[in-house]
Chain A
């Protein structure tokens, strides 16, 4: 059967010089006008096969969706990424944002936007990014004349005191230019993610196959982002929380802890961060803060907690006296360090680096109140809920209490 009704004489006039090739191509016809292509359609009941294949696929997909939900994935867990970030970044100028959060995964996971809003009447725009140095994003805000609000900068010193942006450098490029095609795909994907749980980059087919390899080949060092299993759930406004299974499944939690590699020292000596990197970070921060203040804005640094296992490493690499304290001094800004606030002590860090869902709410409660103390840009509402204590979250199952579940979820 031929799909083209057009003249194919041109093709037939030239005898095939390679027997077995049932269809000539341009490579067989040098120096002549190429004729209208002729395409065969294999004799099969294609419409019936298509309908059956689609039905089988949908059945199998239903089973896959059921399995993914059984594993803890949920519809409405939206994929984070450069387009989601760029969408929030565009809000900064459009909404004359009063509070914007930049930083790395700690301030991203550890902030409960609903709690912040309930306390202060202001819902911050969440611009922190996992695995990413917050400083270039602070500089990006500093270079934006439309930003005149408060920048809350989450600090994990090992991420902040380095030159590289980290995993999500693409986000800034996406904000600078996002093609219509990419934006439409993002919106469609988000709409589908509200319905289907299986749409999760951590549970792609190829990723699941790779996870089967438990270090079979000696000596191979797979980069941390590729070794991590699903760690977070993301909702509207990029509200991000620890994935519930990290809290509830000892196997998943143990894996994530092992990936960080902080509870089993590798034997390699930990070296303090280089002076040049510290100096560079301090100077760039000072300039960025000055730019924001010159327009009437302000900056406050927040240092979320990390576990003693992490602190063993962090306190050698970027001790407070070399990193946090000089940072506040160089930029002449106020800071809220979890070490200094009793209400931020003893919180639950299931995989050592990020707070549990319930404790993220407690931490947010504490740092929002602290912000109100250190900057006039944040004030507690008259009807603000009472303060939370670490006891409100430690040892509490977030799924039962619902303490960290945003209403929009």
Chain B
């Protein structure tokens, strides 16, 4: 069985690791100092163009803080798409437009393919040859996976593709476009922005009001609390103990660890998105929602409208629909669905376990589509909806097993444990971890159900000021005394 590459292993373990190659994570002291300087510079009475140049330089510094030479990759991606889009607009013949669009796609996917999938492809080619009886030892490439390459590649590609599809006009100047690609709040882990969402915001001066600034800081507090305290402090450890250990888990430990991971991955990634949205707001910019209380989803199409929204919408608009979507009959629809989800799984990492994770979601979506057609007239009661929601959450947890496991062997060990089939199971997690998981994950799921048809903002508007202030102070204190250790966000490696 093939193992995940080192980067994927690190991301799966990153709840406890302190990577030396970490980017400037939001939960690091470096970012606190960096962001304070950026805020001050942005508030200075400079011309708007100067402020944009400041933001651009700051964003490059943000990226270079991981590994300075890799800024070149970012530049290549930026310049290639700028010129491809420019030529595409100027081209008169459809074939020429098509060629410039293809150039952009090939260049971007080529870089992504080399850095993210080069080793994986070689490894699998070697395994394939071995299965055919041909001895082939693939070279050890040791390719460094550039932080956030999957995110900024998709962002730059959407620029060329939107112009090719005539959905968007090109940016008026290179500065606005380069800032769209590089803007640090979304650069390394999303939300994956479209040019039409961000470029217009750079066209006119923006500065946060006092309310925007302070609400942005409140969002950053919430996001960092999710990441530092809940994900890293309480949930990563139990997931790691079961998934990365060698002991056989029983049903209680296997379920507890999987539920812990479901909470960890949500708090980690939604925490990042919330912090990013807050950071952008502090500077006067608006970024889109990336999560909408996903563990209250009823069905899998609903889940994907709530989980990593900007990725699922990107895959829908630039992969699922071009593959035919639901416009060419049932068979083609199911093909497009499965292809999209399998590739979506692979986007998360160069490992077959991610492909299986995506494949399971594809199967779920296909089954849901069939069920909706078969029971078109069925109107479930509130209780039935709740039951369907719990079933959705249960099945999503099964997919997390493959997402979290380093190997299929580990996944099978945990799955057997969840089914109570590990005869030699031993207790792994201490009681305090079980209690923490029950309280935190139970709280997350309950909160998602309470909020499933609301926004966070609508709730915050109704909470009395003293209570909200006290909660804010508690979150701040919890972040500070948990201390954190600058652990990378899981999605940095995607």
Contact = CB atoms under 8 A, between A and B. Distances in A.
A84 B453 CA distance: 48
Contact of A34 (B33, B197, B481): B197
A53 B469 CA distance: 5
A27 B309 contact: yes
Interface string B212-256: 111101100000000001000110010000000000000000000
Contacts of B281: 3, 39
Contacts of B25: 181
Nearest to A32: B167
Contact of B469 (A49, A178, A205, A213): A49
A384 interface: no
B316 interface: yes
A210 B237 CA distance: 11
Interface in A217-248: 217-220, 222, 226
A5 B30 CA distance: 31
B430 A213 contact: yes
Interface string A172-215: 01101111111011001100100000110100111001101101
A156 to B, nearest CB: 24
A14 to B, nearest CB: 13
B229 to A, nearest CB: 7
B477 A60 contact: yes
Contacts of B65: 179-181, 184
A40 interface: yes
Contact of B454 (A22, A43, A60): A22
A47 B214 contact: yes
Contacts of A23: 289, 455
A213 B436 CA distance: 11
A121 interface: no
Interface stretch (B16-24, B113-121, B382-390, B404-412): B16-24
Given A36-B286, A50-B214, A205 B478 contact: yes
Contacts of A47: 210-211, 213-214
A40 B453 contact: no
A4 B430 contact: no
B66 A205 contact: no
B187 to A, nearest CB: 13
Interface string A35-57: 11111111111111110111011
A180 B64 CA distance: 8
A357 B200 CA distance: 64
Interface in A1-32: 1, 3-7, 19-23, 25-32
B427 interface: yes
Interface in B405-429: 426-429
Contact of A181 (B17, B24, B288, B305): B24
A81 interface: yes
A210 B486 contact: no
B397 interface: no
Interface string A306-328: 00000000000000000000000
Given A25-B288, A46-B218, A205-B229, A182 B472 contact: no
Contacts of B316: 27, 30-31
Contact of B287 (A7, A19, A37): A37
Contact of B432 (A36, A182, A212): A212
A39 B277 contact: yes
Given A49-B214, A209-B436, A216-B430, A33 B289 contact: no
A258 interface: no
A154 interface: no
B197 A37 contact: yes
B454 A184 contact: no
B465 A45 contact: yes
A27 B486 contact: no
A83 B19 CA distance: 10
Given A33-B162, A36-B200, A216-B430, A204 B212 contact: no
Interface of B: 17-25, 28-33, 64-68, 162, 167-168, 194, 196-198, 200-201, 204, 206, 210-215, 217-218, 229, 233-234, 237, 277, 281, 284, 286-289, 292, 304-306, 309-310, 312-314, 316-317, 321, 426-434, 436, 453-455, 457-458, 460-461, 465, 468-470, 472-473, 476-478, 480-483, 485-486
Among all A-B residue pairs, the 10 with the closest Cβ atoms: A20-B453, A26-B313, A206-B233, A213-B432, A46-B214, A42-B461, A56-B473, A181-B65, A216-B431, A53-B472
28 contacts: A4-B286, A6-B201, A6-B286, A21-B292, A22-B455, A27-B312, A34-B313, A42-B215, A42-B457, A42-B458, A42-B461, A46-B215, A47-B210, A53-B476, A56-B470, A57-B473, A57-B476, A64-B477, A170-B20, A180-B30, A181-B486, A185-B29, A188-B32, A204-B233, A204-B481, A213-B431, A213-B432, A219-B427
